[in-house]
Every structure is written in structure tokens, then in C-alpha cells.
Amino acid sequence: MIDFINVSKKYANGTEALKNVNIHIDDGEFVFVVGSSGAGKSTFLKILQREEVASSGQVVINGQCLNDMKRRDIPYFRRELGIVFQDFRLIPTMTVYENVAFAMRVTGAKESEIRKRVPFVITRVGLSSKARSYPNELSGGEQQRVSLARALVNDASIIVADEPTGNIDPNMAFEIVDLLKDINEKGTTVIMVTHEHDLVRQFDKRVVTLDSGNVVSDGDIADSPIVDTYEKKYDSPSIFRKRSRKKSNSYYPDEKSVEELDAFIKTLEDEDKDGHRNTIDVEELFDTVVSDESSSTAAPEEKITVGDPDEAVNEILQQIKNDNLQSGSDGIGAEPASDGEDGGVTDNG
């Protein structure tokens, strides 16, 4: 359990990095901490790891008050934390196995324990075939997996990930967060600090937003100001807000999906044979594909079973385009068929 109680931090130069911060994190939670540069994320992490001490307020982690913790107790406290760094911090002259084992050796673990534990953790992060490889023989994503294995090997109760996806490509970034999610589902508390808002939107987890040292939101992603940023950029005021409040298996459209839809819709408008500028409401289109209610946007003679939402969206758009070009009608903006008609979108999921 983690408690920041009225925590403020003011540095000697006068900078107020945190201002009266109150955050409670239960055992087994997954929490994203987001915010722009200078928001207070780094100071939050430093206080969490006892690299810095709060100027006022209390920080309590697993029953230990960090404010008055003695210097000799800090290394033992940090063994309860598994730290994943943005820049990996692997020892270049050691193999994957040796890098992970080193984290156990410094705690005084027996070699027999190391030989049992290290292979298990390396396998858990999907690197069993790379155990004898050196860091320079690994991709960025693989190096970050080694860093994660090192954080896990001492069975830490809390994983603290500091911008763990900052130096890897977007696909691998998703895999790293997905791996953190799997670890969290087995009971480990995960705190991930990130500035990658697009990635946060793809996971239905608690989001704490910092701004100028203040907690400006704490809840699901719909309550975070990062949604407002999205709305201004895409002029779609509720596409994420509605999606984030549905059940967990609802589809969360990412920026790439919306960009592709916008481009395709523009193409359809330009190709309209009657000179009319027909439009599609993107939000309504997503609702058609993923809601539990049936709709008849698709042609009556065809039924689309929703499996992959992107694939279903593309099929609907292609059908709309074909119907519009063949008939020359205003099919894009046409009203859905009545409940009594055949066809429609069928959700088997």
C-alpha cells in the first residue's frame, strides 16, 4: 500500500515540484502517472524510491514511513521495489542471465536460489532463448524486457516503471505495457510514469495526472485532461469518453484508426458523383460497430460478425462506398433500416 498524504516538495532553488499531493494506491493496483515536462513526475518517483524526502506531509509505503527512515534502512526498503528504467541500465559485459542474476547476488542470495529463480523470470518475460546473449546483441525492446526481469527477480511487491517505453518502437512499447499488465494481474502493484498518452488510452487503468506539481485528476482516462487534448486535436468530443466508461472489452480507437477513418471519409466525399458533400459521423460509426445494439448500416443482404473492430469498420466503409458509387444516392448519410428489416451488425463477442 502506498500513501502520499499532503506531500509537498520544495527544492533549495525555490522550485515547488509537488504541492499538497494526496495519492492512495492499494496493493495490486496498476496506475499510470502522466503529465508534461516539469509536472512533478520525476520528483514523485524520487520520493517514492526515497532518493528525495518530502518537505512536508507523509509518505508511507508498505507500513514504513519514508520521511524519517534511517539511511542504513534505505537499501533494504528498496528491495521491495523493482525499478524499470527508460535507458535499461544493463551491464554491457554481462549476458542476459548474468544481468538478472546480479540483482540477486547483491542482496546476498544463494547461488542455488539464483539458478532456480533467474531462468524462471527470464522465461516469464519471453527471453529464454536470449539468456546467453549480451545487451548489444538485443533490440531495444528485448533490453527493456531484461530490465523488467531484473526488477522482478527479487520478487518485489511494487514495480516502478520510469518511462519504460521511451526508447523503443510503438509496437514493442505496447508489448512492454501488456507484459506489465500481466504481471499486475498476478498481484504485483505497478506504477508506470509516462508521457505517451496514446499508449495510456489503450489500457483501461487508473490514470493520475500531474500538472505543475498538483494532482489535477485521478481516475479513469475519461477524467484526465489528456482526453481534452485529444478532443481539440480531432474535434470528436466523446469518442474516448464514451468508450472508457463501457465494459472493459469495449474497443478503444487509437489515433491511427481515427486518422485512417478521416482520410477515407474525405475520399468518399471527394468521389461523390452528385456533387453533394456527404459526411459520416466517426463516433456514430464506431458505435455502430462495437455497441451491443444492432444497427443496419451494412447492406440488408449481408451480416457482419464483429470480431476485429478495425476489420469490421473497414468492411462497413467499403460496403457504404460500393453502394454509394453504384447507386449514386446519398447512401452515406442515409438513415439506418428499421428494426424489422433483415441484416445489420451482429455482435457475437
pLDDT in tens, 104-116: 998 889 999 999 9
Instruction: Identify the pLDDT of residue 263.
Output: 54
Instruction: Identify the pLDDT of residue 74.
Output: 92
Instruction: Identify the pLDDT of residue 166.
Output: 83
pLDDT, one tens digit per residue, over 54-80 is 999 999 999 999 999 999 999 999 989
Mean pLDDT of 332-348: 43
Q: Which CATH architecture has domain 2-244?
A: 3-Layer(aba) Sandwich (3.40)
In the chain, domain spans: 2-244, 255-346
Mean pLDDT of 75-101: 91
Q: Which of 12-26, 85-99, 134-148, 159-173 has the lowest mean pLDDT?
A: 159-173
Instruction: Identify the pLDDT of residue 205.
Output: 92
Q: Angle at CA 45, nearest 5°, toward 105 and 90?
A: 35
Q: Hey, what long-range contacts does 325-329 have (CB within 8 A, 24 or more apart)?
A: 325/271, 325/273, 328/273, 328/274
Amino acid code (one letter) for 141: G
Instruction: Identify the pLDDT of residue 172.
Output: 84
Amino acid code (one letter) for 87: D
- 163-198 in b/e form (b: 16+ CB < 10 A) is bbbebbeeebbbbbbebbeebbeeebbbbbbbbbbe
Mean pLDDT of 200-222: 88
* 8 Å CB contact between 156 and 149: no
Residue 269 burial (10 A CB sphere; 0-12, 13-18, 19+): middle
Question: Which has more pLDDT, 10 or 232?
Answer: 10
* 152 pLDDT higher than 60: yes
Which residues, in sequence order, are bridge partners of residue 2? Answer: 25, 61
pLDDT-above-90 percentage for the chain: 46
Q: How far is CA 239 from each of CA 98, 157, 289, rounded to the nearest angstrom? A: 47, 36, 13
